[in-house]
Structure 1
């Protein structure tokens, strides 16, 4: 594997599959500007600027990269040189959108564009094409949802790395320290354990744990707090980790422990429900039904999970109303939570990969409420 990306043959297969999908959709081709779709297809981490950079992928024909001459060097970090793709560079004063049309074969053509293409490029492209492009999301959705073996391996490595961070978290949870202090330690650990950067850190202590998207604050940790720690980041070649565990500073109150045990059963039930043919909403229901049976339905205020890969949040979404049948290779979070505003919250999250007959979690840290010593003489 080349640093920062997969072997070249992985991208060759993806380009071929995307061209077939475009043809099946009745499109002349795809136009992919910088973003996760471009990174998926050719391993490029190019950024979007006012000058157009785009992969032009005809449904029938050879791909072309349209790129400003001053950005040519950025292609060296992608799979473009090894793939032998045609490169059409341009300079200020040229019309790069005409180059796109030429690469698509000319004429008025039905084309799809990545959903991250800015209007700055979409509008002049539509003018040249003579028609407004559609989104490539439907064409690329299944390709990106079904992870290949290289992607699954990358997710396993990311999962193991974030597990190593969670193993260190109890040492950071000392009464008197602030959530921000803990978050700073976690950020350092995320990089130290192999991630290329930090994507997000949630340290929700006490009542802050009841806000699912709380980040961190200057609130000091106290004995008796439950602390929700939700963390993740990209691990080369850019596949993300995302795992939540809940910690208790000192022994939890009996009712807190009872409710947490129900949450643990709900998370286990959802993971156990994962297998090919089961729908996304059935996995969501598996978690929700356990909580509802114990009177905790109203405490679960979000979907059960989201897909993950190059993006932290992508399809499939594990939510009521999503009748998508699961397939082997799909990867997503299973993360039910319970939240009691003004009091406390808890969440348990693993990333799982759908296998031929079930699910493979890539996170293996214990799911029990992790009790951290409150310190000598500490009181709730």
Structure 2
């Protein structure tokens, strides 16, 4: 799998077509996931403007600071046949971009564009309505190509390799921070380019879904939620949660963990084209609620994933969008008992023509270490 598979030349034309269809005159994509998705260029976010200008018709071009020109030309963006418009330190790149665009009525700004840049574009394009580029790009980004699915599969295998090592790191007497340090090293050793997050939540900290790490000492008989992920060299992300127990857990915990496992299994089994995003959430939530733990499942069942850990579609009540082949998202129900403990099981799933493929395949049963 090469960068040309993940960032095909044809994508730019598809983006231009979608821009025109949405009634926008141009997209303005500064460093971040939108720029990388369209061009393959993982540009540094700097105070100096880098911006891919994608008009609805006509030739796209890349504004780059002259000192960043070699990096831009060495990136996959060079295969797109773009003109690289290098600007010098005394130039006003926003004015240059505006002059080349001419009069425009509506432009899409990269969802992660800095306010500094969006306000400057407002100054130089005072008549242009600004909207989010995501309104155009979401339809493309949600539908993963076979190459993108393969990248997510690779990411899933890499983070699975880390989860297989976690039992070596967990033991009573160690702090969450010490365990997280070992996990961080393992994520990088597994082939990840970056470590995006490491959650090690022991005992009562497990009842906080987004607990990070602390100096709390892990005790015997405590459950530990481990949620980890990062980004591979190709830009695609991993994200997987498993729950462990350092010795035999409390009976109360063991009982609701089995409920959680059944709920996660049911939600994954419900994935297929045509069913709504919210129905996947409901499949997990129903089992948890029927067992009496509904009030302790306090977040959505999942989020999309690709070149961002969190992107569309979101697997949540109220999202009636039907799944399509290529949609990729997490399935991660949880049960959290405040002050006591919590549990979560998370796999990344890609919707296929006939169902769903899990990208994570480590044991989902409670692992006692």
Q: TM-score range by the shorter chain?
A: over 0.9
**Aligned with residue 108 of structure 2, among 96, 107, 112:** 112
Q: Which residue of 2 aligns with 1:273?
A: 270
1:254-289 CA distance string (max 9 Å, x none): 332121110000001111111111111111011000
CA distance in 2, matches of 1:34, 1:171: 39
Question: Given that residues 304 and 336 in structure 1 are in contact (C-alpha distance below 8 angstroms), is that contact kept between their aligned partners in structure 2?
Answer: yes
Q: Within 5 Å, which residues of 2 pair with 1:217-256?
A: 217-256=214-253
Question: Given that residues 176 and 215 in structure 2 are in contact (C-alpha distance below 8 angstroms), is that contact kept between their aligned partners in structure 1?
Answer: yes
Distance 1:58 1:8, change over 3 A: farther
Deviation at 1:8, TM superposition (A): 6.9
Residue 197 of structure 1 pairs with residue 181 of structure 2: no
Residue 124 of structure 1 pairs with residue 136 of structure 2: no
Deviation at 1:236, TM superposition (A): 2.0
- Structure 1 stretch displaced more, 233-242 or 115-124: 115-124
Residue 45 of structure 1 pairs with residue 39 of structure 2: no
Residue 164 of structure 1 pairs with residue 152 of structure 2: no
Q: Which residue of 1 aligns with 2:30?
A: 33
Residue 76 of structure 1 pairs with residue 83 of structure 2: no
**Aligned with residue 300 of structure 2, among 293, 303, 310:** 303
Deviation at 1:351, TM superposition (A): 0.3
Residue 282 of structure 1 pairs with residue 279 of structure 2: yes
Q: Which residue of 2 aligns with 1:61?
A: 58
Q: Which residue of 2 aligns with 1:378?
A: none
Distance 1:159 1:9, change over 3 A: closer
Question: Given that residues 30 and 110 in structure 2 are in contact (C-alpha distance below 8 angstroms), is that contact kept between their aligned partners in structure 1?
Answer: yes
SS at match of 2:172: coil
Deviation at 1:110, TM superposition (A): 1.9
1:136-190 CA distance string (max 9 Å, x none): 1110011111111111111000000111100111111111111111111111111
Question: Given that residues 249 and 371 in structure 1 are in contact (C-alpha distance below 8 angstroms), is that contact kept between their aligned partners in structure 2?
Answer: yes
Q: Within 5 Å, which residues of 2 pair with 1:140-155?
A: 140-155=137-152
SS at match of 1:57: strand
SS at match of 2:309: coil
Normalised to the residue count of structure 2, the TM-score between the two structures is: 0.96
Deviation at 1:76, TM superposition (A): 3.0
Deviation at 1:101, TM superposition (A): 2.8
Question: Given that residues 8 and 79 in structure 1 are in contact (C-alpha distance below 8 angstroms), is that contact kept between their aligned partners in structure 2?
Answer: no
Question: Given that residues 56 and 103 in structure 1 are in contact (C-alpha distance below 8 angstroms), is that contact kept between their aligned partners in structure 2?
Answer: no
Deviation at 1:9, TM superposition (A): 8.2
Q: Which residue of 1 aligns with 2:320?
A: 323
Residue 337 of structure 1 pairs with residue 329 of structure 2: no
1:88-130 CA distance string (max 9 Å, x none): 11113323223323443x1233211112222222223223222
Distance 1:92 1:77, change over 3 A: same
CA distance in 2, matches of 1:322, 1:58: 31
Cα RMSD between the aligned structures? 1.4
SS at match of 2:343: strand
CA distance in 2, matches of 1:305, 1:8: 27
Normalised to the residue count of structure 1, the TM-score between the two structures is: 0.93
CA distance in 2, matches of 1:43, 1:238: 9
SS at match of 1:320: coil
- Structure 1 stretch displaced more, 10-19 or 144-153: 10-19
Deviation at 1:65, TM superposition (A): 0.7
1:312-335 CA distance string (max 9 Å, x none): 111111111111111110111000
Residue 12 of structure 1 pairs with residue 9 of structure 2: yes
Deviation at 1:70, TM superposition (A): 2.0
CA distance in 2, matches of 1:197, 1:117: 21
Aligned residues: 368
